Amino acid sequence: MRAVVFEKFHTFPSLTEVEKPVPGAGEVLLKVAGSGACHSDVAIYNEFDEGAPGAQNPPFVLGHEVSGWVEEVGPGVEGFAQGEAHLVYGPIGCGHCKACSRGQDTYCENAATMPYLATGIGRDGGMAEYVVVPARNLVPLGDADPVDAAPLSDAALTPYHAIKNSLPNLSGGGRFALVIGLGGLGQIAVQILTALTGATVIATDMKEDAMRRAEANGAITVAGGEGQVERIREITGGRGVDAAFDFVGATPTIKTAQASMAQMGRLTVVGIAGGVTEWSFFATPYESTITNTYWGTIEELHEVVAMYRKGQIRPDVERYSLDEALEAYRKLESGQLSGRAVVVP
Ligand code: NAD
Ligand code: ZN
């Protein structure tokens, strides 16, 4: 079968022929319906050095945002019918530590001794005609469109987790949220904030079309550049925002978010652009928090699917064939995508 393979650090992936995988004990073979191209893939093949924290050794098939139809089950797997549509929960922990037992494989306490982090991150992923995943990582989609659902696995689950952790900051009237970076994750973050909170959502991106789409999703937009923080503060009546989500994570975006915070606000950095920040007592709004998050739990993915089925999450999908998958990655790298590229093999 054909697959997009990460072959070497700091090297663009290739579209190549690999063996069709066979499901082992406890695993399921899926015929891939859709596989989203995430900016983290670019970090995997372009930015990580061998041995760096988070780096996974090649070769493996990319694609950690995957949906598909059950094709075959491995030994010991029961309760799945051929042709059923499922979404893949990507993270794979040891399955028995405290974190894994609450469905949070992302924070597996035995991650250091696991051979891979996730489907498509260290282990073969879904940028291919078929993928094998552990049966316990499947979330049923019912009759919902599985292709448009693919981005839910990461582009929706990651902001959902970050937003859920910030809900105490956003509950009550007159609250403000800030979303920086309106690509795959950021657009869905605006939809989730609109659906789950009554907060006013302020959003920003360098791209005009991304800001127009965020407005259509319910946000007020503020352009970057000189005076941006002052404009954000003005919208909040001078108080600042109660929760901010940075889907870029570069030094200037973290700085903008920090400068926009209200007292007791919470800033979550989700983007992994390698930004660094300074902290000092009097420059920090009292009791404001800065934190990060990584992906989400399988229970939250069930909740995300429920929001998708209700029309509260509507991934903005650009479909690509497997032959065009590398073009999708080139566009993602150069910022030419609007919406999420989903490869439909
Ligand atoms: P994307 O390329 O689809 O979107 C990024 C958006 O940010 C684009 O619209 C771009 O124009 C905008 N942007 C870039 N620099 C900016 C700046 N200085 N100011 C304002 N806007 C700017 O990327 P994505 O797939 O949505 O991923 C977003 C980030 O989140 C990436 O860094 C990715 O690696 C990371 N990520 C983190 C997790 C996690 O668990 N923490 C999970 C998935 C993705
Ligand atoms: Zn574990």
Assign 127 to helix, strand or coil.
Answer: coil
Whether residues 11 and 149 fall in one domain: yes
Whether residues 32 and 142 fall in one domain: yes
- Is ligand 1 within 6 A of the CB of residue 207? yes
Whether residues 242 and 323 fall in one domain: no
Cis peptide before 315 (omega within 30 of 0): no
Ligand 1 centroid to Cα of residue 324, in Å, is 22
Q: Which atom of ligand 1 is nearest to the CA of 296?
A: 40
pLDDT at 100: 97
The total of structural domains in the chain comes to 2
Nearest residue to 67 via CA among 16, 123, 124, 139 = 139
On the 0-12 / 13-18 / 19+ scale of CB atoms within 10 A, 72 is middle
Give the residue, out of 62, 164, 180, 206, with the most ligand 1 atoms within 8 A of its beta carbon, to mutate for a pocket test.
206
Nearest residue to 4 via CA among 51, 45, 33 = 45
Whether residues 278 and 253 fall in one domain: yes
Structure-token match 């029309």, residue found: 311
Q: Residue 163: in which H helix or E strand, if any?
A: helix 157-170
Q: For residue 164, how many other CB atoms are within 10 A of its CB?
A: 16
Interface predicted TM-score of the whole assembly (ipTM), two decimals: 0.99
Find the ligand nearest to 340 CA.
Answer: 1
Report the distance separating Cα 239 and Cα 228, nearest Å.
Answer: 15
The domain boundary residue, chosen from 253, 275, 292: 292
pLDDT at 54: 85
Q: Which atom of ligand 1 is nearest to the CA of 273?
A: 32
Q: For residue 185, how many other CB atoms are within 10 A of its CB?
A: 26
Whether residues 144 and 175 fall in one domain: no
β-strand partners of 341? 318
Whether residues 255 and 321 fall in one domain: no
Q: Decide: 204 and 182 in contact? Cβ < 8 Å.
A: yes
Whether residues 85 and 163 fall in one domain: no
Whether residues 79 and 213 fall in one domain: no
Ligand 2 centroid to Cα of residue 95, in Å, is 5
Range of the domain at 337: 2-153+296-344
Whether residues 141 and 215 fall in one domain: no
How far does CA 136 lie from the centroid of its chain?
A: 20
Q: List the pLDDT tens digit at each of the 345 positions of the chain.
A: 999 999 999 999 999 999 999 999 999 999 999 999 999 999 999 999 999 988 999 999 999 999 999 999 999 999 999 999 999 999 999 999 999 999 999 999 999 999 999 999 999 999 999 999 999 999 999 999 999 999 999 999 999 999 999 999 999 999 999 999 999 999 999 999 999 999 999 999 999 999 999 999 999 999 999 999 999 999 999 999 999 999 999 999 999 999 999 999 999 999 999 999 999 999 999 999 999 999 999 999 999 999 999 999 999 999 999 999 999 999 999 999 989 999 999
Whether residues 168 and 264 fall in one domain: yes
CA nearest ligand 1 atom 29, residue: 271
The domain boundary residue, chosen from 292, 311, 329: 292
At 255, list the tokens: 């700085």
Q: For residue 249, how many other CB atoms are within 10 A of its CB?
A: 18
Whether residues 149 and 15 fall in one domain: yes
Backbone angles phi, psi at 218, to 5 degrees: 110, 10
- Is ligand 1 within 6 A of the CB of residue 258? no
CATH code of the domain in which 326 resides: 3.90.180.10
Give the residue, out of 247, 300, 336, with the most ligand 1 atoms within 8 A of its beta carbon, to mutate for a pocket test.
247
Ligand 2 centroid to Cα of residue 98, in Å, is 7
The domain boundary residue, chosen from 292, 309, 325: 292
pLDDT at 53: 87
Alpha helices in the chain (DSSP H): 39-42, 98-101, 146-149, 157-170, 184-196, 208-216, 228-235, 251-259, 298-309, 325-333
CATH code of the domain in which 255 resides: 3.40.50.720
Give the residue, out of 35, 39, 65, with the most ligand 1 atoms within 8 A of its beta carbon, to mutate for a pocket test.
39
Length of the chain (residues): 345
Whether residues 233 and 194 fall in one domain: yes
- Is ligand 1 within 6 A of the CB of residue 247? yes
pLDDT at 192: 98
